[in-house]
Structure 1
């Protein structure tokens, strides 16, 4: 019998997720100023910094494209906790480098190491935590649980950003490295293994099904090799029309988000002379509203209107969010645009829930890894488009005066994702809430339910 986990184990996962994102995002408000001071001291615009940011994103995305499906597949076989050690430990190294100094040599060392470790951190951390939750949360509660997990991540983002807002830059990286080390140690000591994934195939398992749910109805997807290649990932995604459409939406969504996020801070610094404090304020608005939305709105709305409609609502808000950044005419407009994050953050947990419901328990890691791989591929392409475009329109040689042109282009790509998401609304995901003959709801009994209070 596969080992069952209880609510305490899921709380330990949330704690690990919170601490990881707290540490990683604490340095985000300061890194733009650190980069500019190291490469172009005393300047508001630096093409070298923008291009290096684009190269970092492209190389990291290429690595994540290869690594994340592999990590997801291995977690199906060897367990989620065992693989979680990789991203949580790797994240500590670049933080330690900048905690020891922020000179140009320190920055370039950090830059190279960060580029390598990102391949193992961001995509893998998301993939593995989603698979961990899916192992023991029944389908009927999975969208809410994914929303809570995403909300916990944003809560870490908000807390880290808030600390960075008042913490001197000289101490930011030291505190961040210490918290990242504590997060890895906490995970190693307290987090229990789920015994989920492929191990269930050889045992009489306790699947995370709601009562009345038929195990035989779970989709059986093609068996893959131990080390999945790109052709395996394509075959996997093409095995279901819903998976194909969801992956396409994920590609365009991440292309837009990666494009504007990679250049937004440099754009705001060039146009409105934003610094670390303004960046932190903006991130606090986005993170606070996003965390509140995912912790409160997602569990309330998902059972009522479904993940497909939440995805559409979130993408419409995302389009508005990005367009307002691009056409900002005053310093307060970015703060107003950030308010739309309350709905745009619903996109990822909704999409992940749709994907999770289309695969069986032995493919959760691979499924989430494949979607993350598609998103990483978009991250590879985004810098090749948005980095030179931003550098051009922020320079004196711009063909016309429109500093936010590249961000506005990202808004149109997000609009494409919104249009494609409409195709998912006609595909009804399998309901796990049964109704008695009298018409009263028979509440599903899950092995693991997520306490969202």
Structure 2
């Protein structure tokens, strides 16, 4: 069920992200930031009410689960090109911090109190988040930049996600970045779906070990993304992306061929270093795009990630099956590769007796010849999906190597101007109009 829900949610995100991005380019960011956060958090209270309604709401929320694209477009509106990569790194670091804090806090509250209290607290925080956006977050897109404010009605061609795909396909730089995201994030999404169960069953991590592993990798990811801006300034955007992809390839190979616990810890450190890839790509795409297309291009990147979130776990499950590797618990027959990170960690304690098994069916009889033996592949390659994922990342590196380092003159904003100043500049005026409420007046100097 969980795998099906993630697949539906991923496909819906892929289709809706460019649409929401295009609409945010026309009608502003705040409204779409509000609805994306609302629908992302909407399934939370249903967790303790009805599981079927919860799964249904998660599937539907995939249409609006594209908060990152709106947030990154918002950041592009209120920052100059020089500050963009640093800002994207801070946004991603904040998200990573939430992933470190929330599981630990949830586990602590679950031990001390009850699950309904955790759901109630999460619901309250979600409501507070929506209220904060409604009251305290200003609109970032200047009114004069919105086509609707000067009488140009939005057309379906402008909002159609497939039309957005075709537009992006005309820009080879953005298209190559989207292909890079697809090839690199597909194995990453598959890895997220099973890595905690894999560590528990194959590498004999205890529940405490897994919790510490999550915390260490998360904290290192935060530190890495905080310095993203300095890395991009020192090395350049293209080199930073390639370095992140190299770290991702190495950590997948470590997961795939490693057979000792210390190797998994080394792979986790590499994974934290690889976390710079997505914010670096988002910053690169933003710098290479026109100021009135930030929502569309960020929506395309987020849509690719959504598609990978739906297909990645299925891909890993198929590869595990082809190599006769089963992560199910042989005591109760439960579990699957489609576990999310939350589902995997919460069900970790029931998987202690699980082993890798090979299903050898004799004479066509189902269930016959179920021998609990060590698979012949696991001696050399314990995690075949991770190795296959590393090969995909190598392809992503090859694509990224052909991406031009510098944006074209037709796209680059002169002197790294903000979106509203650039709007004035493109129309030949030398005096900037009213700035976005979050922009400092110094940015208006032409």
TM-score normalised by the shorter chain: which range applies? 0.7 to 0.9
Structure 1 pair 407–315 and aligned structure 2 pair: CA distance change class (3 A): same
Task: Name the structure 1 match of 2:11.
Answer: 62
The answer to whether the 8 A contact 2:69-2:299 is kept is yes
Kindly state the Cα deviation for residue 129 of structure 1 after the two structures are TM-superposed: 0.2
Kindly state the Cα deviation for residue 289 of structure 1 after the two structures are TM-superposed: 0.8
Task: Name the structure 1 match of 2:358.
Answer: 397
Pairwise CA RMSD: 2.9
The answer to whether the 8 A contact 1:294-1:345 is kept is yes
Kindly state the Cα deviation for residue 99 of structure 1 after the two structures are TM-superposed: 4.0
Q: Which of 281, 292, 306 is residue 223 of structure 2 equivalent to?
A: 292
Q: Which of 231, 250, 253 is residue 301 of structure 1 equivalent to?
A: 231
Kindly state the Cα deviation for residue 202 of structure 1 after the two structures are TM-superposed: 7.0
Structure 1 residues 77-135: Cα deviation after superposition (integer angstroms, max 9, x where no partner): 111110112221123332212245xxxxx4444333223223422xx110000000101
The answer to whether the 8 A contact 2:288-2:407 is kept is no
Task: Name the structure 2 match of 1:265.
Answer: 196
The answer to whether the 8 A contact 1:197-1:364 is kept is no
Structure 1 residues 60-90: Cα deviation after superposition (integer angstroms, max 9, x where no partner): 1110011111111111111111011222112
Task: Name the structure 1 match of 2:138.
Answer: 192
Task: Name the structure 1 match of 2:124.
Answer: 178
Structure 1 pair 116–224 and aligned structure 2 pair: CA distance change class (3 A): closer
Q: Which of 79, 83, 89 is residue 32 of structure 2 equivalent to?
A: 83
Task: Name the structure 2 match of 1:227.
Answer: 159
- Cα separation, 1, equivalents of 2:196 and 2:56: 21
Kindly state the Cα deviation for residue 385 of structure 1 after the two structures are TM-superposed: 2.0
Task: Name the structure 1 match of 2:403.
Answer: 424
Structure 1 pair 111–141 and aligned structure 2 pair: CA distance change class (3 A): same
The answer to whether the 8 A contact 1:59-1:115 is kept is yes
Task: Name the structure 2 match of 1:409.
Answer: 388
Structure 1 pair 300–429 and aligned structure 2 pair: CA distance change class (3 A): farther
The answer to whether the 8 A contact 2:237-2:405 is kept is no
- Cα separation, 2, equivalents of 1:367 and 1:346: 19
- Cα separation, 1, equivalents of 2:143 and 2:300: 15
Partner SS, residue 358 of structure 2: coil
TM-score by length of 1: 0.72
Partner SS, residue 126 of structure 2: helix
Q: Which of 32, 42, 45 is residue 96 of structure 1 equivalent to?
A: 45
Structure 1 residues 24-69: Cα deviation after superposition (integer angstroms, max 9, x where no partner): xxxxxxxxxxxxxxxxxxxxxxxxxxxx343232211110011111
TM-score by length of 2: 0.73
Q: Confirm or deny that 1:115 pairs with 2:76.
A: no
Kindly state the Cα deviation for residue 425 of structure 1 after the two structures are TM-superposed: 5.1
Paired residues for 1:319-334 under 5 Å: 319-334=249-264
Partner SS, residue 157 of structure 1: helix
Paired residues for 1:20-31 under 5 Å: none
Q: Which of 79, 95, 99 is residue 153 of structure 1 equivalent to?
A: 95
Kindly state the Cα deviation for residue 432 of structure 1 after the two structures are TM-superposed: 6.9
Partner SS, residue 36 of structure 2: helix
Q: Which of 70, 76, 79 is residue 128 of structure 1 equivalent to?
A: 70
Task: Name the structure 2 match of 1:368.
Answer: 298
Structure 1 pair 197–75 and aligned structure 2 pair: CA distance change class (3 A): farther
Structure (1 or 2) with the larger CA radius of gyration? 2
Partner SS, residue 120 of structure 1: coil
- Cα separation, 2, equivalents of 1:224 and 1:264: 41
- Cα separation, 2, equivalents of 1:372 and 1:234: 13
- Cα separation, 2, equivalents of 1:381 and 1:196: 37
Q: Which of 350, 366, 376 is residue 280 of structure 2 equivalent to?
A: 350
Kindly state the Cα deviation for residue 266 of structure 1 after the two structures are TM-superposed: 2.6
Kindly state the Cα deviation for residue 243 of structure 1 after the two structures are TM-superposed: 1.0
The answer to whether the 8 A contact 1:75-1:197 is kept is no
After TM superposition, the structure 1 stretch with the greater mean CA deviation from structure 2, 146-155 or 370-379, is 370-379
Structure 1 pair 330–111 and aligned structure 2 pair: CA distance change class (3 A): farther
- Cα separation, 1, equivalents of 2:204 and 2:128: 36
- Cα separation, 1, equivalents of 2:148 and 2:13: 30
- Cα separation, 1, equivalents of 2:159 and 2:403: 30
Structure 1 pair 197–74 and aligned structure 2 pair: CA distance change class (3 A): farther
Q: Which of 180, 183, 188 is residue 249 of structure 1 equivalent to?
A: 180
After TM superposition, the structure 1 stretch with the greater mean CA deviation from structure 2, 368-377 or 244-253, is 368-377
The answer to whether the 8 A contact 2:27-2:148 is kept is no
- Cα separation, 1, equivalents of 2:401 and 2:386: 24
Kindly state the Cα deviation for residue 272 of structure 1 after the two structures are TM-superposed: 3.7
Kindly state the Cα deviation for residue 356 of structure 1 after the two structures are TM-superposed: 0.9
- Cα separation, 2, equivalents of 1:70 and 1:273: 44
Kindly state the Cα deviation for residue 277 of structure 1 after the two structures are TM-superposed: 3.9
